[in-house]
Structure 1
Amino acid sequence: MNVSMIMSIVVTMIGFVYSLSAFLLPNAKIGLPYEPKIFPAILGIALLVLGTILIIQEIKERARAVDKTEHAVFFGREQKDIVLTLCNGFVYALLFDRIGYVFATIIFLNFQLFVFRGVKAWKNSALVSVIFSVVAFILFNSLMGVYLPKSPLGFV
């Protein structure tokens, strides 16, 4: 069983439990009695349906792979990208308060762009990450009043 099939089953199970929990919510005392159940029920049913669709797709994909006598690789390119992204997110969370939003975001975006675009586009990736980080910092601090951690150097 590969990672996609496991996640499909997990999503379907979560959808089932969430739907069941949504229908067990108490009725509203004011207004329509079923109103508090509508949105959670929609979410649960959507998870249930999408999880089932994913299971069906995985079964079809497995049948095609067996026909081609293709061996399943548990840790392929996609799984490596997921693990690198999770590790990068963890490092980003650790650095966020210590070195400030701008520098932590530049490091995070550079690494993510390196993972998905490769080494050849490093100049473009560096430019994008610096511009995005600085512009987002200015927008959040100046226009929206959401103060992000500044660097220990005292600027941005």
Structure 2
Amino acid sequence: MSETTTAEQTAPHTTTHATSWWREHSELGVCALLAALGVFVLVDAALIETDFAQRGPIGPKTAPVAIGIALLLVAAILAVEVLRGGRAQAESGEDIDLSAPSDWRTVLLLAAAFLANAALVDVIGFPLSGMILFWGSAYALGSRNTVRDPLVAAVLSIVTFLAFNNLLGVPLPGGPLMGVL
């Protein structure tokens, strides 16, 4: 009977110990994410077609390959550091209460503003969808000024549109305001 009691006592302890080990080494999740992202970037870089005349030694695969290798290298270095017992220190200058629960309302409102922008950019154009994004983000983060916020959002959206479209040569959908801008 004492053997059964001993086996029953050690089973929860191993589960608790495994949970405790993962909790103490939670940064390994970041390592796994970085490694997966590095592999994704490298695979995507390998699929880039280079069926054009290359001008110079650096081709279109150079930057993605360098970034993919850097991601894998950082993941490996971080994993070694975590497994050696290194732990990240909390920011001393932050005034965040880590015991407070997450503010899911803000996260969901920001996600809604972003998704609305993504869904509407081709339909109503960037100036209007960007305005929704900027105003929605301000609202989600706590600003409730009904006059200033839409005006600032409109100015930011139009300036961003003009900078990308006219100065940088990156065409963005203009929507119904394309003739005006």
Question: TM-score, length-normalised on structure 1?
Answer: 0.57
Structure (1 or 2) with the greater helix fraction: 1
Aligned-residue CA RMSD (Å): 4.1
Give the structure with higher Rg (CA). 2
Contact 1:98/1:152, CA 8 A, preserved across alignment: no
Match of 1:139 in 2: 163
Alpha-carbon distance change, 91 to 39 in structure 1, aligned in 2, over 3 angstroms? closer
Match of 1:65 in 2: none
Match of 2:121 in 1: 96
Contact 1:101/1:137, CA 8 A, preserved across alignment: yes
Partner-residue secondary structure (3-state), 2:147 = helix
Report the CA distance between 1:15 and its aligned residue.
3.4
Contact 1:81/1:115, CA 8 A, preserved across alignment: yes
Runs (5+) with no aligned partner, structure 2: 1-18, 42-62, 91-97
Letter of the 1:15 counterpart: L
Contact 2:124/2:175, CA 8 A, preserved across alignment: yes
Match of 1:110 in 2: 135
Contact 2:130/2:157, CA 8 A, preserved across alignment: yes
Report the CA distance between 1:145 and its aligned residue.
2.2
How many aligned positions are there? 125
Give distance in 2, aligned partners of 1:100 and 1:71.
42
Alpha-carbon distance change, 21 to 113 in structure 1, aligned in 2, over 3 angstroms? closer
Alpha-carbon distance change, 143 to 42 in structure 1, aligned in 2, over 3 angstroms? closer
Give distance in 2, aligned partners of 1:133 and 1:20.
35
Question: TM-score, length-normalised on structure 2?
Answer: 0.51
Give distance in 1, aligned partners of 2:131 and 2:66.
42
Report the CA distance between 1:138 and its aligned residue.
1.8
2:175 to 131, 151, 156: 151
Partner-residue secondary structure (3-state), 2:141 = helix
Runs (5+) with no aligned partner, structure 1: 23-35, 61-69
Higher relative contact order (CA 8 A, sep 6+): 1
Give distance in 1, aligned partners of 2:67 and 2:172.
33
Match of 1:15 in 2: 34
